[in-house]
């Protein structure tokens, strides 16, 4: 099976993705994360300073993204690798964000209970005022979490 995700699978997938993000951040980054709000958007537009995106294919076709500020992106990577932020090189931040996307996507795969989901290698972007759009036919769920005093957005496009 491939193509758009049937409506009855969208909610379990989004739940699996949310739970996975909470697991990853709490287990590996020791970050207290709180769900703030959820919105539906008609496009997949990632907005932030530190972003990770990965394509999902196979049994489910879509995109997963995460975006936050450079400060929080750096802070999260610093915590998962156990190095202070000033010891991190720019490539550590992009690699770390890509790994975060990978971990969250992998967790979603395991928790969703749908066989045949494949994840492409993730990509990451760091910079000022990034706005990246992928044309898709599906709606995007944008789930905002509070991380400390900052926000982290999770994008689920299935």
Partner 1 sequence: MRILIVDDSSVMRKIVTRGLRQAGFAIDEILEAGDGQQGLEVLSNQTVDLILSDWNMPNMDGLTFVREARKTIQTPIVMVTTEGGEGKVNEAIASGANGHIKKPFTPDTLKDTLGKYFA
The binding site for partner 1 (CB under 8 A) comprises: 23-24, 27-28, 77, 80-83, 91-92, 95-96, 98-99, 102-103, 105-107, 109-110, 115, 119, 121
Smaller CB separation from partner 1, 53 or 77: 77
Which structure tokens are listed for 12?
Answer: 């379990």
C-alpha span between 71 and 49 (Å, rounded):
9
**Cβ closer to partner 1: 65 or 96?**
96
Beta strand segments in the chain, E: 33-41, 44-58, 62-68, 117-119, 123-134, 140-147, 150-157
Nearer to partner 1, 46 or 77 (CB): 77
CA-to-CA distance for 83 and 100, rounded, in angstroms?
Answer: 16
Instruction: Report yes or no: 20 and 111 within 8 Å, Cβ to Cβ.
Output: yes
> Which among 110, 115, 139, 98 has a CA at the least distance from the CA of 10?
139
Minimum gap (Å) between residue 133 Cβ and partner 1: 26
Least separation in angstroms between residue 10's CB and partner 1 is: 21
Please say which residue, 47 or 79, places its beta carbon nearer to partner 1. 79
At closest approach, how far in Å is the CB of 47 from partner 1?
24
Nearest approach, Cβ of residue 104 and partner 1 (Å): 9
């Amino acid at each position: 099976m491939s193509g758009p995700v049937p409506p009855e699978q969208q909610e379990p997938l989004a739940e699996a993705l949310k739970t996975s993000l909470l697991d990853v951040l709490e287990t590996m980054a020791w970050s207290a994360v709180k769900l703030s709000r959820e919105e539906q958007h008609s496009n997949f537009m990632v907005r932030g300073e530190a972003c990770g995106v990965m394509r999902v294919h196979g049994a489910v076709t879509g995109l997963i993204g995460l975006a936050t500020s450079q400060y929080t992106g750096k802070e999260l990577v610093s915590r998962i690798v156990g190095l202070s932020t000033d010891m991190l090189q720019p490539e550590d931040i992009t690699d770390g964000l890509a790994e975060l996307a990978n971990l969250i996507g992998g967790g979603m795969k395991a928790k969703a209970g749908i066989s045949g989901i494949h994840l492409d290698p993730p990509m990451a972007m760091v910079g000022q005022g990034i706005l990246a759009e992928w044309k898709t036919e599906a709606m995007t769920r944008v789930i905002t979490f509070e991380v400390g005093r900052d926000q982290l957005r999770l994008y689920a496009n299935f």
